[in-house]
């Protein structure tokens, strides 16, 4: 795991109420098991307000871990201080306690159509993505993040629900 991502770090809003990862684009209401907006699982969206802080942090950490995995394959954050300063100056919302790779995601998600020199933000694309328009890269990152979240759900969550469903019927 990269030095910038340490799962044991203090997590967002540790002294205050832990905010929802919701981005206002919920697709679970249409039957998706993984939200296309925030990438949480259906049951996490439904039960968020019932979760304790530890459960909420676990969701946030999983989302961060998956997003960092996707982002590191596409770009390098070579100056996290510059990236943070640019985000603050441009009033782009980000979670300071998360990995700078999550910050880079917020930058691209919010500014893909306006950014011309990504390096000015302390971020460089990997060679195979340098010719990509940022809006296309943003969409590809979002798709891959969603696919990875779905795969995580299928591998670790769905079988548990299937077993629990079988136990109820017996």
Residue 55 lies in a domain: no
* pLDDT for residue 13: 44
pLDDT at 9 over 70: no
This prediction's pTM: 0.84
Question: How far apart are the C-alpha atoms of 63 and 65, rounded to whole Å?
Answer: 6
Residue 47 lies in a domain: no
Residue 95 lies in a domain: yes
Grade residue 163 by pLDDT with cuts at 50, 70 and 90: low
* pLDDT for residue 168: 44
Question: How far apart are the C-alpha atoms of 13 and 30, rounded to whole Å?
Answer: 30
Question: How far apart are the C-alpha atoms of 53 and 58, rounded to whole Å?
Answer: 9
H helices of 24-154, where?
Answer: 42-47, 53-72, 80-89, 100-111, 134-152
Domain assignment of residue 139, given as a range: 64-169
Tens digit of each residue's pLDDT (9 = 90 or more) over 108-161: 999 999 999 999 999 999 999 999 999 999 999 999 999 999 999 999 888 776
Residue 102 lies in a domain: yes
Helix (H, G, I), strand (E, B) or coil at 121: helix
Nearest 5°: the CA angle 104, 106, 108 is: 70
The total of structural domains in the chain comes to 1
Report the chain's terminal Cα–Cα distance, integer Å.
Answer: 43
Residue 33 lies in a domain: no
pLDDT at 2 over 60: no
Residue 72 lies in a domain: yes
Residue 45 lies in a domain: no
- Name the phi and psi angles at 160, rounded to 5: -65, -45
Tens digit of each residue's pLDDT (9 = 90 or more) over 29-74: 788 899 999 999 999 999 999 999 999 999 999 999 999 999 999 9
Tokens of 112: 């893909």
Residue 23 lies in a domain: no
């Amino acid at each position: 795991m990269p030095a910038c991502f340490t799962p044991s770090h203090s997590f967002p809003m540790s002294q205050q109420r832990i905010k929802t990862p919701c981005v206002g684009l919920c697709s679970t209401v249409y039957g998706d098991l993984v939200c296309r907006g925030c990438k949480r699982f259906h049951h996490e969206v439904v039960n968020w307000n019932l979760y304790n802080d530890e459960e909420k942090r676990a969701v946030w950490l999983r989302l961060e871990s998956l997003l960092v995995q996707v982002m590191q394959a596409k770009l390098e954050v070579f100056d996290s201080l510059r990236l943070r300063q640019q985000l603050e100056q441009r009033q782009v919302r980000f979670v300071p306690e998360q990995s700078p790779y999550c910050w880079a995601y917020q930058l691209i998600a919010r500014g893909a159509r306006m950014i011309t020199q990504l390096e000015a933000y302390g971020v460089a694309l990997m060679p195979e993505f340098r010719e990509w328009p940022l809006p296309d890269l943003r969409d590809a990152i979002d798709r891959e993040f969603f696919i990875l979240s779905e795969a995580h759900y299928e591998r670790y969550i769905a079988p548990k629900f299937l077993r629990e469903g079988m136990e109820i019927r017996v």
